[in-house]
Chain A
Amino acid sequence: RKEVEQDPGPFNVPEGATVAFNCTYSNSASQSFFWYRQDCRKEPKLLMSVYSSGNEDGRFTAQLNRASQYISLLIRDSKLSDSATYLCAAITGNQFYFGTGTSLTVIP
């Protein structure tokens, strides 16, 4: 079983829509979580860390549910520029584990 699993999508949403991605992790000992954004043929870049109490950065909200072992990313008021692949990541032990990524396309 993979350490981190995501729905690969693709998610195609109209501009202005709200879209949510979920990511599950298999190891209850995982201690830190992140969302990365990766544009086509580019490197992943940190979007936000995920804190236990949940955290918000502008239109982006990240949540952690330790009981159900999932993290989520909510994007409000989607922009065309939000089109990308979103990767969740977890630190377990001494390793970073990435999901396969969820593809988002925002349509005009």
Chain B
Amino acid sequence: EADIYQTPRYLVIGTGKKITLECSQTMGHDKMYWYQQDPGMELHLIHYSYGVNSTEKGDLSSESTVSRIRTEHFPLTLESARPSHTSQYLCASSWGAGFSGANVLTFGAGSRLTVL
């Protein structure tokens, strides 16, 4: 059913490791986003991209980085994971050159990261 895929779904890793969370969408959407959400808490935008080779930081400061080399792919990388990075990371995408009621966000199922 989902047209936006995230891997891994769950990751438990030790402090200091480098990790990459993958996000791919098959809808041809120009816009892609990464949100961070702790349990029971609000969504925080950490990165977004409006197209290939375009990336911006979101409202929440994050030590992660992103790249957008292909339209369908928007990976997020943490060079050195820390326990404070433990959270759920949600990738999303939307369609269109502008913003309107038709440009809804579609979310992936999320990557739940635990850093020990």
Contacts and interface: CB of A to CB of B under 8 A. Distances in A.
Given A49-B104, A89-B105, A43 B99 contact: no
Contacts of B108: 43
A59 B12 CA distance: 41
A51 B101 CA distance: 8
Describe A's contact surface by its main secondary structure: strand
Q: Which of B94, B101, B106 has the most CB of A within 10 A?
A: B101
Interface in A54-108: 87, 89, 91, 93-96, 98-101
B75 to A, nearest CB: 18
A41 B39 contact: yes
Interface string B26-66: 00000001000001011101000010000000000000000
A10 B109 CA distance: 24
Contacts of A101: 42
Interface residues of A, number: 24
Given A95-B45, A99-B42, A31 B107 contact: no
A38 B50 CA distance: 25
A69 B39 CA distance: 28
A32 B43 contact: no
Contacts of B45: 95-96
A100 B42 contact: yes
B109 A42 contact: yes
A105 B45 CA distance: 27
A100 B41 contact: yes
Nearest to A95: B45
Contact of B103 (A91, A93, A99): A91
B100 interface: yes
7 contacts: A31-B99, A31-B100, A33-B101, A43-B107, A45-B107, A96-B45, A96-B105
Interface of B: 33, 39, 41-43, 45, 50, 88, 90, 94, 99-101, 103-110, 112
